[in-house]
Structure 1
Amino acid sequence: MDDNGGRLGRLRRILERREEREAAGPSEPWRIRAGGGTPTLPVTEEVPLIRTDFSDDAVWTAVRDAVLAPHPQGRGEVFRAEVEPVEDRRFAGLAAAELVERVPADPECPEEPAATLLLVADATTVTSAEHHLLLVEIDIDENDLVRRLRVVPRAVQMVENNLTTANMGWEEFAEAADDDGVLREL
């Protein structure tokens, strides 16, 4: 995958929204629209993989490494999940809604969040047999709707790459989840 694929798509969407905002007039910054709160999550080019459970370092390491592992595809191509681990005890025990409140405004486009996808290693990740993570999406086109889905570590790359490049939509992954709400494969 082209290293800039997700970033170029995101830049294109930012430019389109900037043009729409200029035509519509001034808007409020993301943090005000989202209800305030101190933005404490780091601004990153990649999807943050946020550790909120600090009870088992070995599980965290295994999950993080599985998410970051290369995924060979056909014809010698190798894909990786474009995620950045965030290991900060200030996020210990926070729920998805609390993490969304801590997403800062995009420095280049303050009306939007710096991240629209969050990957969370929470207590369920640590205690579940498959160590599935919580994937959170902030849909700014749907009035900042927050969606959640559980994903096993080996499926993170496929989901992240396809969502950030807009190859597939959230609904496709939600429909592919098993009856227990966990996405394992497509």
Structure 2
Amino acid sequence: MLLPEPADMYVLLVRTDYSDESAWLVALKAATAAYDVGDFERGGACLQPVQRPELAGLTPDDLVLLPRDGYISVLAVADARTMHDQTVLFVDLNEYNDQIGRTFRAVPEEVEPITTNLALGNMDFFEFADSTPPDGVFRGF
């Protein structure tokens, strides 16, 4: 399985749980929704879904090892927990740091700012991961 190179400014959303199609649709809608944050206009996260049965059950450690069609620095993952609580798992794939495989989760409202800031290079993965509380779920700064 070869992970495709995402479209410009997009992050791949790799689906690894196929147990409930309706839960997937709810999670995808939550992750890509535009959330109102006062005066700042958001357009929703630019996520490019990757759905292939051979991805079922893969862990972050497994995903890090998958071959890629081009450079990919981060993955968003829709796993079994995502289907339950809509949090999105982020996995660091940046080969230029020593934290490959590092993860954190994010509530749907924070997916767009994370993906946008990572795509633009405004922030690095570690800045979000380091700001995640002990429960592992990033809820914003």
TM-score normalized by structure 1? 0.66
Q: Between Structure 1 and Structure 2, which shows a larger proportion of strand residues?
A: 1
Residues 1:143 and 1:75: Cα distance change in structure 2 (over 3 Å): closer
Taking the aligned partners of 2:36 and 2:107, their CA distance within structure 1 comes to 17
Question: Given residue 41 of structure 1, which amino acid in structure 2 is its aligned partner?
Answer: L
Q: What pairs with 1:43-122 in structure 2 (closer than 5 Å)?
A: 43-45=5-7, 46-72=10-36, 77-106=41-70, 114-122=71-79
SS at match of 1:42: coil
CA contact (8 A) 2:72 2:94 kept: no
Query: Deviation of residue 153 (structure 1)?
Result: 1.7
Corresponding pairs, count = 139
Query: Aligned equivalents of 1:173 and 1:76: distance in 2?
Result: 20
Shift of 1:92: 0.6
Question: How many Å apart are 1:91 and its aligned residue?
Answer: 0.5
State whether residues 74 and 90 of structure 2, in contact with CA within 8 Å, keep that contact through their aligned partners in structure 1.
Answer: yes
Do the aligned partners of residues 133 and 77 (structure 1) sit closer, same or farther apart at CA in structure 2, a change above 3 Å counting?
closer
The unaligned stretches of length 5 or more in structure 2 are none
Check 1:132–1:76 CA distance in 2 against 1; reply closer, same or farther (3 A cut). closer
What's the C-alpha RMSD, in Å, of the aligned pairs? 2.0
Higher RCO structure (Cα 8 Å, ≥6 apart): 2
Q: What are the superposed Cα offsets for residues 79-117 of structure 1, whole Å, 9 maximum, x if unpaired?
A: 3212101121111111112222224141xxxxxxx3111
Q: Could you say what secondary structure the match of 2:101 adopts?
A: strand
**d(CA) in 2 for partners of 1:64, 1:52:** 13
Larger gyration radius, structure 1 or structure 2: 1
Instruction: Letter of the 1:63 partner, please give it.
Output: A
**How far apart, CA to CA, are the structure 1 residues paired with 2:27 and 2:2?**
23
Q: Take 1:174 and 1:163, find their aligned partners in 2: how far apart are those partners? A: 12
Residue deviations 1:26-75 (CA, integer Å, cap 9, x gap): xxxxxxxxxxxxx5222221211011001111111011011111234555
Q: Is the partner of 1:80 in helix, strand or coil?
A: coil
User: Is the CA contact (8 Å cut-off) linking 1:103 and 1:115 kept in structure 2?
Assistant: no
Is residue 141 of structure 1 aligned with residue 96 of structure 2?
yes
Q: Does 1:182 align with 2:137?
A: yes
